[in-house]
Structure 1
Amino acid sequence: MITLFEQESGALNMAKLSGGQAIVKVMEREGVKKAFCVPGESYLGVIDALYEHPDIQLVATRHEGGASFMAEAYAKASGSTGVCMATRGPGAANLSIGLHTAMQDSTPLVALIGQVERPFKGREAFQEVEFTAFFSHLCKWTVEIESADRIPELLHRAFYMARSGRPGPVVVSLPHDMLEETAEYIERHIQTEQVPEPSEDAVREVLERIRAAERPVVIAGGGVTRTKSADLLARLAEKLNVPVVTAFRRFDAFPNSHSHYAGWLGFGSEQGLLDYIKDADLIVALGTRFSQVTTQDYTLLGEQTELIQVDVCPDSIGKVYAPALGITADVKRFLEKALDMAVPAEEQEKQQALQRLHAAYLAFSSPPKDYEEQHVDMDGLLHDMVNSFPSDAILTSDAGNFFGWLSRYYRFDRQGTYIGPTSGAMGYGLPAAIGAKMACPDKMVVSFSGDGGFMMTVQELETAARLQVPVIAIVVNNNMYGTIRAHQEKHFPGRVVATELSNANFAELAKLFGCYGEQVRKNADFLPALEKAKASGRPAVIEVLTNPEILSASQLKTVQPNAERVNK
């Protein structure tokens, strides 16, 4: 028997398809390979149409937040557009955390959400939410498809909107009854986005200004990581003798061990680097939106600093700082043209500045091999991670105080090896690792989370176990919401409230899901646990118990061997 999706496209044109079948046909033509969801009755028409599809895998997760995080990380790792699905009302609200993450990270994502039947709208029907209003400021575009015959037109447009310009999430609302009606399927052309090219005059002016500047600095952001242009940027930096820093959570936008790398921007950046940037006479910003964290609460650029901003989206240029020169262009195309036109620079003073900046970065970012017996020292843990992980390993992370050690000490020397939320979303690490591993099954994928964030999506261990996705989850456990505790101690000393936690033994919990689990209480036991986790061939959890008195990578250590814990 030949199924709907085994027929030639031409034979389908003008055929009668249900709304659900038309949705899936568009997904197929857009190259979708995986869709992440929690199933719901409001879009069963789509789920049923996927039943017979030979190439699109429907991944059922345990929470809609997990589904949207997986889809968002899958899009980053694969370079394609992520797809997630949820039912109306509560399902859609749960999905929204990943959509917000995709918006702030400029990740192409299409969310298909079931909606109440068209005749019931406006009556506060069961789980009714007006999605176009609800998601309007969280997404690039939101549309409700009112008629099945408009599915090819509007859904193809949704995919185009998600991946074009500054990429981002798009929500498509699907009324339940519309998915079950039939209409003639008229095949549409898939729109191919044309990225803006920089003019030769604009590129020449940038190169001249860099050559004339005494203290130029390049800030590399998501426009570099999205277009996988880190190698191009490294070659241009070498040619121009200019230092490069990476924006918040864009570590892999430039190889960290490269002689022209000066460090990263975000929480806990090295003060000397920040001072150098504030005193710079020229900043060249490549594909960064100058977030609050990157700019240190919008204080990064000095009054004397001239700014050149290159971004694919004209709306991002001048949004935070007024540039002397704004160029609307794809960052990769800009780098290609600049590399072709640049003349090698040989200024001795710039070379010496590069050496000083990179030496300061190396000194700041080299983790000491500090081992403890009473708990796991985070410096020592990062030392072992840096020296044992393969260079192409993909790391995903949550938000939390543990992240300070990862951002300071781990060196990302290959592009596509870090996936994290610039939105600071907790619970991201584990589902993101699952999505990334499904996109890159041949690579080692490790999530790095605190106990607070890990518990928010711990149920996705079952998803990983059921689908046999062998990610490794490192859980840094100090039995508290550590970042908030640190702020609490700073601003309201001695008044601890709402930040203390108690936890199950995460290693034992992992075993109940069918995963490998091990609890590590001292540094010497971490590497053996890592090897056993890798050898298990299963999803794995390595729980590391840390000193709750040490809340940041810059804090002076005081060992507390008798610190009370709740780990049974």
Structure 2
Amino acid sequence: MTTSTLQHTTRAQDAPPAMHVGRAIAASLELHGVQRVFSVPGESYLALLDGLHDVAIPNVVCRHEGGAAYMAEATGKLTGTPGVAMVTRGPGAANAFVAVHVAWQDASPMVLFVGLIPVADRGRDAFQEFDPNGWFGSQAKRVLVLDAPERASEVVAEAFRIARSGRPGPVIVGLPEDVVAAPFTGELRARLPVARGAVADDDREAILDALAGAERPLLLVGGEGWTPEAAKAVQGFAERNRLPVLQEWHATGRIPTDSPSFVGQLAFGGPPEGMRMLEDADVLVTVGAVLNDVTTGSYVARQNADARTIVVSLDPELRGGSGALSRHVLASPETFAKAIADAALPEHARRSAWTAQHHDRVVAERLDWSARADGRRGASMTRLIDAVAERLRDPLVTVGAGNHSAWAQLLPSVRYPAELATRNGSMGYSVPAALAAALEDPNREVVTIVGDGELLMNGQELATAAQEGAAFLVIAMDNGQYGTIRSHQERYYPGRVSGTQLTNPDFAALARAYGGHGETVRADGEIDGAVTRALAAVEEGRCALIHIVVDPDILLP
């Protein structure tokens, strides 16, 4: 090779590649402040992977599209900005669909990029061809297919705007293989603003007047659109005015568990106190929460047409709500919190007594749970959770679906966000959500509570955690069954257990195989040592799993 040829080759290698659509999308993600993306690679979007090579956005390479998409959804819940996942066409998109449904029902901002077949191959039953609108049209806020290369950055900006606006949710961006590799001749577009609503003066006055005159007022909080500052402001407003705050299912952290205004949460398998308060309240103000089948006990509570209910929500359609509606304030929780942060209500002795009475009952119920010996065979899940709670200052808990998630209520919540969960009841979420949380805030104490049925759905992402250096504690509750379904069977078909029993592997050994720390607990006397060693491993920067074998007949705390 001549010297001139060698110099030419070196210059060609050092020169930046031409701006193609994949690079434009990656640059646009950087403009939107994306901190990381979660992906399973595919040949249909190689150009986008190439674009990520040159930007300062880590690409968390996952082991399953469902895990990657769950991580993106959890990031959206955690930060309020869209989490980003990337998957390939056909099977990859199908595997990611489960998290799209979570984001749709839970109102989580998320953008899913899906590689597609080349434009010229459409409608010919090409390899892995599918219709993104047909698949995702009913479960996404919008499906955008990039057919014009010059609009790549514009489409990204639009996807992020839609995902964040109004009632947040998932947006799908389809990337045809040929288009994403085409030259980009357009302009890069920055992040677009979204409206957060407003609390007008008359709205504010109506809310405060209603609460001031109530003997049994209640704030019901939940949903998306919260920030740590908004949660603190609502907490201060409630405590200053002696108002009780009830959280909807899986909305832990909007108010700390040690607040005098804390009165628990509405949840499957939770204490009945919350449902009684919802029904008895003479004025209910919901902030971000939705009066759906879970919060109303299958549309039973709060259905009186004369009930005074004020709803604060950015969703103009109030999708999923039911029951009486006295006033709708079109505002996000953050906007509402700013509007009422300094408001003071006149003293009302009955209001104060109502709040104190229910707070004391909820605290007593939680203490009663911890006092019970909840197992005749195996170890006590309650005692394990108590041992973990005693050692943590500020935990963030993640759970998927199953009876095991009820034990999360025994962990203290100190500040928002304190919980990542699926309000649509989707399994396989716990480990991916914990991984996303640990990467987002490495200094936070992250705990995931997972059932034996759920752990083997995306539990392989522990390999991704080891790869990324994400450290968190996994509590794997092993009762040898799909416990929630077993409980339904016992209710409707007593004594006829069918199709719910499991034979499990050694989960502690599995954790060690993935590069983490593993412990097995079969008796209460083994709890303290296992928790101490597991948390020490997390402190050292490794995932740790405690495999606790429990009494299969104990289905709730």
- Length-normalised TM-score, structure 1: 0.91
AA aligned to 1:551 is: L
Aligned position for 1:557: none
Which of 367, 389, 395 aligns to 2:392? It is 389
Between stretches 91-100 and 234-243, larger displacement belongs to 234-243
Q: 2:382 aligned to 379, 384, 390, which one? A: 379
Describe the SS at the equivalent of 2:133: helix
* Cα distance, 1:337 vs structure 2: 1.7
Contact 1:228 1:416 in 2 (8 A): no
Q: 1:142 to 1:171 in 2, by over 3 A?
A: same
Question: Which residue of structure 2 aligns with residue 558 of structure 1?
Answer: none
Matched-pair contact (CA < 8 Å) for 2:303–2:322: no
Equivalent AA in structure 2 for residue 543 of structure 1: H
Distance in 2 between the 1:163 and 1:180 partners?
Answer: 28
Distance 1:535 1:276, change over 3 A: closer
Shift of 1:3: 12
Answer whether contact 1:477 1:544 (CA < 8 A) is retained: yes
Please state how far the C-alpha of 1:527 moved relative to its aligned partner. Answer: 2.8
Q: CA 1:182 to 1:491, structure 2 compared with 1: closer, same or farther past 3 Å?
A: same
Query: In 1, distance between residues paired with 2:63 and 2:228?
Result: 32
What one-letter code is carried by the residue in structure 1 that aligns with 2:35? Answer: K
Moved more, 36-45 or 525-534: 525-534
The partner residue of 2:551 within 547, 551, 560 is: 547
CA displacement at 1:336 relative to structure 2 = 2.0
Alignment of 1:158-197 (within 5 A): 158-197=159-198
Aligned to 1:486: 487
Q: 1:524, CA displacement in angstroms?
A: 2.8
Runs of 5+ consecutive residues of structure 1 not aligned to the other structure: 8-14, 554-568
Separation of aligned partners in 2, 1:48 and 1:184: 18
Contact 1:227-1:331 within 8 A present in 2 as well: no
Structure 2 counterparts to residues 10-89 of structure 1, below 5 A: 17-53=19-55, 55-89=56-90
**Aligned CA distance change for structure 1 residues 24 and 223 (closer, same or farther; 3 Å):** closer
CA distance in 2 between counterparts of 1:534 and 1:239 reads 37
Question: Does structure 1 residue 280 correspond to structure 2 residue 281?
Answer: yes
2:6 aligned residue: none
Give the aligned partner of residue 405 of structure 1: 407
Alignment of 1:100-499 (within 5 A): 100-223=101-224, 225=226, 228-303=229-304, 304-316=306-318, 319-340=321-342, 342-366=343-367, 367-369=369-371, 374-390=377-393, 392-407=394-409, 409-499=410-500
Aligned twin of 1:10 = none
CA distance in 2, matches of 1:246, 1:126: 47
CA distance in 2, matches of 1:337, 1:107: 24
1:447 Cα deviation after fit: 0.9
Residue number in structure 2 paired with 1:508: 509
For residues 253-277 of structure 1, the C-alpha deviation after alignment (integer angstroms, 9 at most, x for no partner) is: 1112111112110112322432232
Could you give the per-residue CA deviations for residues 384-406 of structure 1, whole angstroms, max 9, x where no partner exists? 2332222x221101211112222
Decide whether the 8 Å contact of 2:452 with 2:480 is kept in 1: yes
Question: Any conservation in 2 of the 1:140–1:169 contact (CA below 8 Å)?
Answer: yes
The structure-2 alpha-carbon separation of the partners of 1:338 and 1:41, relative to structure 1 and needing over 3 Å to count, comes to: same
> What is the CA deviation profile of residues 496-522 of structure 1, one whole-angstrom value per residue up to 9, with x for unaligned ones?
111000011000111112211111112
- Cα distance between partner residues in 1 of 2:73 and 2:165: 16
Task: Report the CA distance between 1:190 and its aligned residue.
Answer: 2.5
Aligned residue number for residue 92 of structure 1: 93
CA distance in 2, matches of 1:412, 1:245: 14
Residue by residue over 1:346-369, the C-alpha shift from the partner in whole angstroms, topping out at 9 and shown as x without a partner, is 111111111110111001112425
Match of 1:521, as an amino acid? R
- Percent identity reads 33
**CA distance in 2 between partners of 1:3 and 1:357 (Å):** 72
What per-residue deviation string (whole Å, max 9, x for no partner) do you get for residues 405-427 of structure 1? 223x2331311121111111111
Q: How far off its partner does 1:302 sit? A: 4.6
1:369 and 1:383 in contact (8 A); partners too? no
Partners of 1:437 and 1:351 in 2: CA distance? 39
Task: Say if 1:222 and 1:253, in contact at 8 Å, map to a contact too.
Answer: no
- TM-superposition CA deviations, 1:272-331 (whole Å, max 9, x none): 432232122211011112232122111121514211001122122784234111110122
Query: Structure 1 residue 207: deviation in Å?
Result: 0.6
Are the equivalent residues in 1 in contact too, given 2:396–2:413 (CA < 8 A)?
A: no
The verdict on how the C-alpha distance between 1:382 and 1:511 changes in structure 2, with shifts beyond 3 A counting, is closer
By how many angstroms is 1:144 displaced?
0.4
Shift of 1:539: 1.4
Which amino acid in 2 is paired with 1:177?
Answer: D
Distance 2:229 2:458 in 1: 29
For residue 7 of structure 2, what is the aligned residue in structure 1?
none
Partner of 1:534: 535
CA contact (8 A) 1:370 1:377 kept: no
In 2, the alpha carbon distance for the partners of 1:3 and 1:507 equals: 51
**Does structure 2 retain, via aligned residues, the 8 Å contact 1:373–1:523?**
no
1:153 deviates by 1.3
Residues 535-555 of structure 1: per-residue CA shift (max 9 Å, x gap): 2231111100000121122xx
Q: Is the 8 A contact 2:212 2:345 kept in 1?
A: no
Give the whole-Å Cα distance in 2 for the aligned partners of 1:335 and 1:209: 17
CA contact (8 A) 1:17 1:183 kept: yes
Distance across 1 between alignment mates of 2:28 and 2:97: 23
In 1, Cα distance between equivalents of 2:500 and 2:418: 32
CA distance in 1, matches of 2:65, 2:229: 29
Counterpart of 1:217 in 2: which secondary structure?
strand
Tell whether the 8 Å contact from 2:117 to 2:128 is kept in structure 1 after alignment.
yes
RMSD: 2.2
Assess if the C-alpha contact under 8 Å between 1:36 and 1:84 holds in 2.
Answer: yes
Match of 2:4 in 1: none
Say which SS state the counterpart of residue 19 (structure 2) adopts. strand
Count of residue pairs brought into register by the alignment: 542
Residue type of the alignment partner of 2:519: E
- Counterpart CA distance in 1 for 2:516 and 2:50 is 30
1:381 partner amino acid: L
1:482, distance to aligned residue in structure 2 (A): 0.4
Distance 1:400 1:524 in 2: 26
TM-score norm. by structure 2 comes to: 0.93
Pairwise CA distance, 1:373 = 8.6
The farther-off stretch of 369-378 and 500-509 is: 369-378
Q: Which amino acid aligns with 1:460?
A: E
Greater shift in the superposed pair: 525-534 or 147-156: 525-534
Letter in 2 for 1:466: Q
| SS of residue paired to 1:494 | coil
Bigger drift between 220-229 and 238-247 goes to: 220-229
Contact 1:35 1:59 in 2 (8 A): yes
The 1:369–1:388 alpha-carbon spacing in structure 2 relative to 1, beyond 3 Å, is farther
Aligned-partner Cα distance in 2 for 1:494–1:363 = 33
Superposed CA offset, 1:163-222 (max 9, x none): 222221110000001111113131224312232111111100111111122211110112
